[in-house]
């Protein structure tokens, strides 16, 4: 499969009053054509910074790229000028943000907010762009689009606003859509509609999606592959069914155990992950999950595990993959 | 899988619980007021203002005694003498020592400003508090009245009161000045306090506290006062320069403090007469002091507002 | 929306009425009456004068009469100038004051928000520091000091700038500059913080994610939203302008309403003080009303939520 996006060893830090925060610490992943990749993890694990990094929308300073590359269709975005990035943003790569209530300009008509990108990237006349934005609103199932384009965001409900956001992001038919927690701020019923809409549009228009979320239910529903992030690193990557059926990293297992399922017994309790993620002002030398891991070993404290590369699709970063650990565990009668 | 060192099997033993520190709080949680103070200290401009206020405050008492002259003593053989080693800021048209008079001016201006702000605070808290704890009807009537009072132009009221309570060409007494300066300006404070009191009655966090068994006193101490004190403090800090400015303007149009006392405004007013005849120091010295005071309180107030804004916490 | 408008107009009328009443009470609580000083005048003349100005009637009656006069737009007579009525003086002085006031307002409105926006866009860099230094000077240095500084250092050295007086456009430049500085500074400071807040909003990120140029993001998205709250303080700005005009007119010797007002204060010309005060109050209250309505018209959120109800 040809990759639309390849992120290689990306490192992003923030300079703050207290020192440097290493928000993203060398992550590598790829997104194929028409593929949906989910990035999951707790809040503050670097998901949104990654997204902002790809779009180059991080406030710089305090943010800066420490290393790595972001290859989009084989071209490194980090080497592009701001002007070139403007030609890519909203055109080839678009983004849908978390909170539809604050993501639209409150004093500008909806239609104009959609038209803006079209006029810039597609060199459309105003009339053509307006016609196109009516079509886009129709596509995202906003009723009465001709009337709605002349209204302001506050006249829309949350779900409708997110539809508008999607229409706005899709207007120029991008190759890659980054959806940063697109349904977190919405009601559950509306969530399903929005996800359904995104799936439908993906089939129709054939784009790739990076879906950033902490909701594993959405992941199972939407994505082809899953990237599990923790403390600015990727701990596990795999096809969605692999991740759900046989999670390799203790963190992924804990994450899955903390989601309620219908087939659970009443006696079975939900598991919470005790503790808090490490402070990224001074990231740990060893495995970042060490402090909260119930299967932690002595080696984990000071030594960073590498990726286990035995499977092409499913990899994790954990010392438990080490043959010696597996031997010892079977000796101790401890299953994984 | 590779590791850049020899891996001994023991390393794969389970880690001891004491070795982990999942629950360790990594940065000490920062308490509110020390944090406000820390951020204020980082703001160099605000600290300059604070320092300036302290210096001006001390000097307004020390400075008046430094060169042995009094503010009313007239010396007709030495009128309009330019600043020199005897009269450090020169003398005025009656031969009075301007150095001493300027520091008295600073003292009176500061006093008027601080008193006016204090009265605003007092009336504001009282009025706003009563409006807040009374029922909706009384509250809305009180707030309507406050709104009307507030939309009466400030300086016009001050001028009118000063005109009525002072004799022509004589200026006003300290009491009249302070009274007129705080006549309408307590309203923002009252609105602020009322809003906070209403929050005390309804807010979710005090409700949450209450459901956890906290009594009203605790809520007042832990939630309401810290949340209200900040905006009030900013308000008071910014009210002081406003009053000083209004007083200076009054002084400048001939309605300031009664002679022989002098505020900075009245000093500037009499200094204006010296301008065409080359005695510009008589105007510019008090002018510089007015500006310094205004500057100091304004930057301190701004700094406080920024330091108190929780959204700016880093 | 209509309901709000009506309420707002009613409030304005009540305010003006309150000003008239307060002014009336204050002016009539001055001990003695305005002719007592000229005690050498014969008793008949004195009583005639009292009758002429209606001062022999009961206070409540005088109040009703005065109120009626104001409603008809008659601000009464001056006591010192026996030739001109208060209306004449307003007619003579107000255009001059309004000219300088509007010129200053224009300067402040054009440069204040621009300065604030530039500062916000370059937060913690030198344009920010320079703008904020100007703004701090503007709010710290009272306009009467600015005025005298201008006279001392500009008018005396630049030959075509008159030192004072009134007559040509050149006469208005320095006074309006001195007058404009404080409102300019206030607007700049307000715009800066408003702009900083807007720049941190999600919709700015959305706008950037569309790939439109930074200039477009700033002008079309940021400035438009940031300027809204700034409009709401224009009333306060105008109030300060009028207060400033009293002293500026005095310093520059401009025959405007402010100068008449100060002269009337120093002469204790009570009817003139009363008339001018009320006139000023009406101007200010009407201005506040206009600003409020303007704010309502330009902010789509306010207009439409009110309609929706």
Q: What is the DSSP annotation of C229-258? A: HHHHTHHHHHHHHHHHHHHHHHHHT--SHH
Burial of A170 (0-12, 13-18, 19+ CB in 10 A): buried
Most B-contacting residue of A21, A282, A297, A309 (CB-CB within 10 A), to test interface? A297
Averaged over B47-68, what is the pLDDT?
A: 84
Higher-confidence position of C151 and C179 = C179
Instruction: Tell me what pLDDT residue B50 has.
Output: 92
Q: Provide the phi-psi class of A334: left if phi over 0, else alpha when psi is between -120 and 50, else beta.
A: beta
Instruction: Tell me what pLDDT residue C31 has.
Output: 63
Q: Are A228 and A243 in contact (CB under 8 A)?
A: yes
- Strand-pairing partners, residue A221, are none
Whether the predicted pLDDT of C190 surpasses 50 = yes
Instruction: Tell me what pLDDT residue C278 has.
Output: 87
Of B253, B280, B302, nearest to C152 by CB-CB distance is B280
**B312 reaches C (C-beta below 8 A):** no
Most B-contacting residue of C144, C151, C241 (CB-CB within 10 A), to test interface? C144
Q: What is the DSSP code (8-state) at residue A262?
A: T
Min mean pLDDT across B44-48, B100-104, C166-170 is at: C166-170
Q: Are C8 and C289 in contact (CB under 8 A)?
A: yes
As a whole number of angstroms, the distance between CA B251 and CA C154 comes to: 25
Instruction: Tell me what pLDDT residue C307 has.
Output: 39
* C210–A103 CB contact, under 8 Å: no
Report the 10 Å Cβ neighbour count for A157: 13
As a whole number of angstroms, the distance between CA A333 and CA A248 comes to: 18
Instruction: Tell me what pLDDT residue C34 has.
Output: 58
Whether the predicted pLDDT of B105 surpasses 80 = yes
Q: What is the DSSP code (8-state) at residue A64?
A: E
Instruction: Tell me what pLDDT residue B282 has.
Output: 81
As a whole number of angstroms, the distance between CA A206 and CA C84 comes to: 83
Instruction: Tell me what pLDDT residue B125 has.
Output: 86
CA angle B248–B252–B254, rounded 5-degree value: 120
Q: How far is CA B151 from the centre of its chain?
A: 22
How high is the mean pLDDT of chain B?
Answer: 77
Closest CA to C215 of C76, C283, C118, C146: C118
Q: Where are the alpha helices (DSSP H) in B18-83?
A: 32-42, 44-62
Q: How many CA atoms lie within 13 A of C198 on its CB side?
A: 29
Max Cα–Cα distance, chain C, nearest Å? 87
Which residue positions in chain A have pLDDT lower than 70?
1, 261-271, 275, 325-336
Higher-confidence position of B21 and C144 = C144
Higher-confidence position of C225 and B222 = C225
Min mean pLDDT across A207-216, B103-112, B269-278 is at: B269-278
Length of chain C: 309
Q: Is A278 helix (H, G, I), strand (E, B) or coil?
A: coil
Nearest CA in chain C to B169: C266
**B254 reaches C (C-beta below 8 A):** yes
Nearest CA in chain A to C201: A102
Q: Cβ neighbours of residue A12 under 8 Å, at least 6 residues apart? A: A23, A24, A46, A49, A50, A53, A58, A63, A64, A65, A66
Max Cα–Cα distance, chain B, nearest Å? 102
As a whole number of angstroms, the distance between CA A175 and CA A206 comes to: 8
Instruction: Tell me what pLDDT residue A147 has.
Output: 85
Give C 191-220 residues with CB within 8 A of chain A: 201-203, 205-214, 216, 220
Residue B237: both structure tokens together: 């800090």
Higher-confidence position of C302 and B251 = B251
Q: What predicted TM-score, i.e. pTM, was given to this entire model?
A: 0.80
Closest CA to C104 of C152, C61, C150, C65: C150
Residue C132: C-alpha distances to residues A318, B96, C40, C119 (Å): 53, 38, 60, 7
Q: Is B108 helix (H, G, I), strand (E, B) or coil?
A: helix
């Amino acid at each position: 499969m040809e990759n639309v996006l390849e992120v290689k060893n990306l490192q992003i830090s923030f300079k703050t009053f207290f020192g440097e925060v290493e928000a993203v610490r060398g992550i590598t992943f790829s997104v194929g054509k028409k593929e949906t990749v989910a990035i999951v993890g707790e809040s503050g694990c670097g998901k949104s910074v990654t997204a902002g990094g790809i779009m180059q929308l991080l406030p710089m300073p305090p943010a800066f790229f420490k290393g790595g590359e972001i290859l989009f269709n084989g071209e490194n975005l980090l080497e592009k000028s701001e002007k070139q990035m403007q030609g890519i943003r909203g055109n080839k790569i678009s983004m849908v943000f978390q909170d539809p209530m604050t993501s639209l300009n409150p004093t500008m008509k909806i239609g104009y907010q959609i038209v803006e990108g079209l006029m810039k990237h597609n060199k459309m006349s105003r009339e053509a762009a307006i016609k196109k934005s009516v079509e886009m609103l129709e596509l995202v199932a906003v009723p009465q689009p001709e009337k709605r384009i002349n209204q302001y965001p506050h006249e829309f409900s949350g779900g409708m606003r997110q539809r508008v956001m999607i229409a706005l992001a899709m207007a120029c038919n991008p190759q890659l859509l980054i959806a940063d927690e697109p349904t977190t701020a919405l009601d559950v019923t509306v969530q399903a509609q929005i996800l359904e809409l995104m799936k439908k549009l993906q089939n129709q228009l054939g784009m790739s999606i990076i879906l950033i979320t902490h909701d594993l239910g959405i992941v199972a529903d939407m994505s082809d592959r899953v990237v599990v992030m923790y403390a600015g690193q990727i701990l596990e990557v795999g096809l969605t069914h692999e991740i759900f059926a046989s999670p390799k990293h203790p963190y992924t297992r804990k994450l899955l155990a903390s989601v309620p399922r219908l087939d659970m017994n009443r006696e079975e309790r939900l598991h919470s992950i005790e503790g808090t993620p490490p402070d990224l002002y001074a990231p740990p030398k060893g495995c970042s999950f060490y402090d909260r891991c119930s299967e932690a070993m002595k080696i984990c404290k000071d030594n960073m595990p590498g990726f286990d590369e035995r499977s092409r699709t499913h990899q994790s970063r954990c010392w438990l993959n080490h043959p010696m650990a597996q031997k010892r565990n079977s000796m101790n009668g401890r299953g994984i | 899988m590779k590791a850049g060192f020899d891996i001994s099997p023991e390393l794969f033993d389970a880690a001891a619980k004491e070795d982990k520190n999942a629950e360790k709080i990594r940065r000490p949680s920062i308490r509110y007021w020390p944090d406000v103070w820390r951020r204020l200290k980082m703001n160099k401009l605000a600290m300059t203002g604070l320092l300036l206020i302290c210096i001006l405050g001390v000097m307004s008492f020390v400075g008046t005694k430094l060169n042995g002259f009094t503010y009313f003593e007239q010396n007709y053989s030495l009128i309009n003498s330019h600043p020199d080693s005897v009269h450090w800021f020169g003398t005025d048209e009656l031969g009075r020592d301007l150095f001493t008079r300027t520091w008295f001016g600073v003292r009176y201006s500061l006093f008027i400003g601080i008193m006016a702000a204090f009265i605003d605070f007092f009336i504001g808290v009282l009025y706003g508090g009563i409006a807040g704890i009374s029922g909706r009807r009384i509250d809305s009537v009180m707030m309507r009245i406050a709104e009307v009072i507030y939309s009466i132009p400030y300086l016009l009221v001050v001028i009118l009161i000063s005109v009525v309570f002072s004799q022509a060409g004589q200026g006003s007494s300290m009491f009249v000045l302070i009274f007129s300066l705080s006549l309408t300006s307590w309203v923002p404070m009252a609105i602020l306090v009322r809003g906070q009191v209403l929050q005390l009655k309804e807010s979710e966090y005090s409700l949450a506290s209450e459901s956890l068994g906290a009594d009203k006193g605790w809520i007042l101490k832990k939630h309401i006062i810290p949340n209200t004190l900040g905006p009030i403090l900013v308000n008071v800090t910014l009210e002081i320069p406003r009053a000083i400015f209004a007083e200076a303007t009054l002084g400048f149009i001939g309605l300031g403090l009664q002679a022989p006392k002098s505020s900075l405004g009245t000093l500037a007013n009499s200094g204006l007469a010296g301008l065409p005849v080359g005695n510009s120091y008589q105007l510019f010295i008090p002018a510089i002091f007015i500006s310094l005071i205004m500057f100091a309180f304004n930057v301190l107030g701004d700094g406080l507002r920024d330091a108190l804004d929780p959204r700016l916490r880093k | 929306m209509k309901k709000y408008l009506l309420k707002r107009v009613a409030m304005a009328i009540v305010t003006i009425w309150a000003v008239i009443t307060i002014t009336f009470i204050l002016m009539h609580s001055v001990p003695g009456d305005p002719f007592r000083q000229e005690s050498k005048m014969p008793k008949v003349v004195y009583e005639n004068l009292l009758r002429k100005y209606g001062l022999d009637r009961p206070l409540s009656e005088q109040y009703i009469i005065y109120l009626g006069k104001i409603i008809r737009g008659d601000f009464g007579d001056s006591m010192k100038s026996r030739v001109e009525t208060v209306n004449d003086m307003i007619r003579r002085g107000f255009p001059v004051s309004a000219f300088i006031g509007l010129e200053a307002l224009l300067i402040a409105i054009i440069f204040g928000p621009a300065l604030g926006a530039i500062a916000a866009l370059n937060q913690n860099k030198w344009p920010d520091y320079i703008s904020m230094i100007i703004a701090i000077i503007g709010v710290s240095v009272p306009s009467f000091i600015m005025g005298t500084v201008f006279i001392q250092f500009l008018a005396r050295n630049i030959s075509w700038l008159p030192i004072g007086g009134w007559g040509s456009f050149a006469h208005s430049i320095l006074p309006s500059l001195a007058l404009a500085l404080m409102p300019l500074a206030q607007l700049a400071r307000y715009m800066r913080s408003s702009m900083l807040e807007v720049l941190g909003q999600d919709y700015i990120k959305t706008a950037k994610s569309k790939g439109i140029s930074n200039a477009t993001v700033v002008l079309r998205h940021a400035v438009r939203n940031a300027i809204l709250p700034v409009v709401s303080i224009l009333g306060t700005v105008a109030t300060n302008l009028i207060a400033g005009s009293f002293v500026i007119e005095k310093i520059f010797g401009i025959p405007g309403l402010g100068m008449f007002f100060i002269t009337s204060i120093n002469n204790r010309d009570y009817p003139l003080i009363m008339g001018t005060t009320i006139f000023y109050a009406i101007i200010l209250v009407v201005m506040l009303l206009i600003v409020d309505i303007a704010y309502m018209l330009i902010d789509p959120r306010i207009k439409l939520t009110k309609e929706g109800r």
